């Protein structure tokens, strides 16, 4: 199976990074995906790399990612998504879960 690699970059005026240096959530399996988040100095930007077997959905990925980044005010984070045919609803859910996990400190939320 050939994989499609997409790259996006977003920037919020007022951005907040994640609390952990890096975080991982999810498993690449049937209809699912994994999200890796890493804190990086990107001048407030968020860089996203998506690896997916699906082609032709670049605009959908952009819309889902842009909505998530704007609503979370995320910045200075590199995100890698390894997708296995996840629907946009699952992508949104996994991103919110990954952000919550990336902001946990010492087993609890802060």
User: pLDDT tens-digit profile of 9-24?
Assistant: 999 888 999 999 999 9
Which residues neighbour 8 within 8 Å (Cβ) at sequence distance 6 or greater? 47, 48, 50, 61, 62, 65, 66
- The token duo for 19 is 């609390």
The model's pTM is 0.91
Mean predicted confidence (pLDDT) in 21-43: 90
The whole-angstrom separation of Cα 90 and Cα 12 is 24
Report the alpha-carbon angle 27-31-36, nearest 5: 35
Look at residue 108 in the predicted model and tell me its pLDDT.
54
Torsion angle (degrees, nearest 10) of CA 73, 77, 80, 86: -10
User: For 60-104, how does the pLDDT look when each residue is reduced to its tens digit (9 = 90+)?
Assistant: 999 999 999 999 999 999 999 999 999 999 999 999 999 999 999
Q: Report whether pLDDT(56) > 90.
A: yes
Helix, coil or strand: residue 7: strand
Query: What one-character DSSP code corresponds to residue 60?
Result: H
């Amino acid at each position: 199976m050939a994989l499609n690699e997409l790259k996006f970059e977003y920037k919020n005026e007022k951005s907040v990074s994640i609390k952990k240096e890096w975080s991982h959530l999810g498993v690449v399996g049937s209809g699912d995906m994994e999200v890796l988040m890493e804190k990086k100095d990107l001048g407030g930007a968020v860089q996203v790399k998506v690896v997916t077997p699906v082609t032709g959905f670049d605009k959908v990925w952009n819309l889902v990612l842009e909505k998530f980044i704007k609503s979370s005010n995320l910045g200075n984070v590199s995100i890698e998504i390894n997708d296995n045919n996840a629907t946009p609803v699952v992508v949104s859910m996994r991103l919110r879960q990954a952000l919550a996990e990336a902001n946990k400190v010492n087993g609890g939320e802060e």
